[in-house]
Amino acid sequence: MTIDYDQHRSMPDDYPHSDLYWSVVPIWCDRTDDIDWKAYACGVSFGFEWGIIMAMLRPEWAQGFYHKLLAYYQTTYQEEDYVNHWDGHADETAQVLPVSGVS
């Protein structure tokens, strides 16, 4: 494990990252192979968190990169149909972690 993993595995109860770790990772990641789930889920949830931050601070970049990813997945993984799951995953994420107005 890395030092960062050790520092973050005891997160404060009110730290929003915990919600990503426990709720969002299972929605977006369908992993059944033999992996270190704690380390994998921690990495995915931090990546998701940083992706949200980047999307808010640089929305034009996030939209542009989204279209680049979309084009890649549509041409590379046509038979697996990954792209059609994204919208459902986004809806499920919004339902499991509703966000009210910010103050």
Arithmetic mean of pLDDT over the chain = 80
E-assigned strand segments in 1-103: none
Burial of 40 from C-beta contacts in 10 A (0-12 / 13-18 / 19+): middle
Residue with tokens 């494990």: 1
pLDDT tens-digit series, residues 13-33: 667 777 787 788 888 887 666
pLDDT reported for residue 58? 97
pLDDT tens-digit series, residues 29-43: 876 666 677 777 778
pLDDT tens-digit series, residues 44-63: 888 898 999 999 999 999 99
pLDDT reported for residue 65? 96
